[in-house]
């Protein structure tokens, strides 16, 4: 049996509240774009900042600022792209990888404290459902958002 509109609205509201709670909590502790830049560089190897901006869905100028700071801190190395001398490539350093390990460990500790009273089965079930939700979102969500945006524009998002 398919979920009703009311059930889907409840799910959407819960996911939105969870996302907002994570955003508020993390924004106080670290810059999510900066961590995203490091994560993409760790996952992709040498990558152009513009590609990072596209993956993170942020403005290229924001990535540029974060790349500069991360390079100054020794977490990234910036080189000229040999295939296009006008472009740059970024690559994570061992120091950057260590930052990512520390970030990941902090996340595990925070989540561990939040779900300390949960059973292993509950944690596994939620993990599986979230993985399924993310896979379905990757497959259908972005296109659905584009279609919806084309039909209806919210006044506060128009520029």
Same-domain status, 87 and 136: no
Higher pLDDT, 101 or 19: 101
Query: For residue 155, is pLDDT > 80?
Result: no
Query: For residue 30, is pLDDT > 80?
Result: no
- How sure is the predictor about 145, in pLDDT bands with cuts at 50, 70 and 90? confident
Give 77's strand partners: 91
Q: What is the pLDDT of residue 152?
A: 66
Same-domain status, 99 and 63: yes
**Cβ–Cβ under 8 Å, residues 37 and 31:** no
Which residue shows structure tokens 């599986």? 128
Task: State phi, psi for 154 to the nearest 5 degrees.
Answer: -85, 135
**Cβ–Cβ under 8 Å, residues 88 and 48:** yes
Same-domain status, 35 and 70: yes
How is the chain split among helix, strand and coil, in percent rounded to 5?
Answer: 70, 10, 20
Number of domains in the chain: 2
Expressed as residue numbers, the domain containing 139 is 118-153
Q: Which of 90-104, 125-139, 140-154 has the lowest mean pLDDT?
A: 140-154
Please report whether residue 110 resides in a domain.
yes
Same-domain status, 88 and 132: no
Same-domain status, 69 and 109: yes
Average pLDDT of the segment spanning 48-57? 92
DSSP states of 1-64 as a string? -PPPHHHHHHHHHHHHHHHHHHHHHHHHHS-HHHHHHHHHHHHHSSB-HHHHHHHHTS-HHHHH
| CATH code where residue 40 lies | 1.10.10.10
Query: For residue 50, is pLDDT > 60?
Result: yes
């Amino acid at each position: 049996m398919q979920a009703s509109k009311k059930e889907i609205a409840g799910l959407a509201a819960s996911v939105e509240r969870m996302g907002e709670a994570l955003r508020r909590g993390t924004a106080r502790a670290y810059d999510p774009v900066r961590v995203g830049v490091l994560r993409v560089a760790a996952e992709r190897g040498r990558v152009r900042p513009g590609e990072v901006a596209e993956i993170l869905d942020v403005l290229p100028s924001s990535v540029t600022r974060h790349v500069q700071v991360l390079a100054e801190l020794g977490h990234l190395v910036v080189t000229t792209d040999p295939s296009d001398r006008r472009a740059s490539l970024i690559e994570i350093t061992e120091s950057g990888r260590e930052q990512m390990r520390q970030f990941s460990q902090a996340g595990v500790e925070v989540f561990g404290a939040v779900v300390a009273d949960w059973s292993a089965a509950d944690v596994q079930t939620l993990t599986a459902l979230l993985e399924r939700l993310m896979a379905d979102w990757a497959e259908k969500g972005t296109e659905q958002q584009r279609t919806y945006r084309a039909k209806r524009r919210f006044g506060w998002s128009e520029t």
